[in-house]
Structure 1
């Protein structure tokens, strides 16, 4: 009986020693850029949520092609004076990924007829018209515009039925400047991508 009491006392003391009254609490401050990226991703998720809620957009059965979002005032992506010149590419690519993850039938219209090789890399995506695949079946095209307004960018996207030219779904969101991705430091000049200040 004494042995069991001693064992119980030793075990209780050992277990109490494992817990400490003066435990250190470590608070991790989230990185601001990480928060901005998560907020940006949430906005894109919200856009896809809006688009896929409409029953006329049969994205799981019919192929969809994505275009680059353009600035509303010029209907162009090229504007070297804009700090967010690559934003339309980023939004389009991210929406494409979101739709694929939901089981969407996405067609890459920038795919080439063959893989191209260079000394440093191999490529399958192209913007050269003579290299593009010729037989691409698409039922829908996702297009959109962006508008710089005070404090950020309003993004409007629409899904257009290729045969009827009807807009079968649309969505809109506002992304404040503080949550725009670090594309602000990236810009296009004479067809080349640069990082840093304009």
Structure 2
């Protein structure tokens, strides 16, 4: 029988040096999204997926934690950009729940998939800001999973504000530039169920 040890989720080594020179606060939604889109570009450049995310203090614009899609290099389906940003923010604040430490915003280059929707609810963010639509990710082959057609309204009913299409053309451009592995495509899902 195997003996399991603590779970360790790898983050890219470059992520710790990436933030050097970035302003401490980014008060404007476009500045925040620009940073997240840059993270998605850096992720592709370094072998990751075409998604970026970050957690910010909603009122001050302070960057709490970045995240990139590191599923393939990190060998874990958990390593979506939103999940990484939320986990690193929780570790930074020393809590499994962000709402008790203030009001935080998750900025993501693409609307959250089914996994990330669940995680952001439990993490306690007050706001979600999205760039590209999930259909934009699906157009290059990614499967976003079973999400309610009313996900935006459902988040709002739970007190999470949603802003969509912030710098969407730039976010879509990053998606369309991706030539790496599509690890959860529609085809792979249908092959497994057969």
User: TM-score scaled by structure 2?
Assistant: 0.29
Higher strand proportion: 1
Higher helix proportion: 2
- State the structure with more CA Rg: 1
User: TM-score scaled by structure 1?
Assistant: 0.28
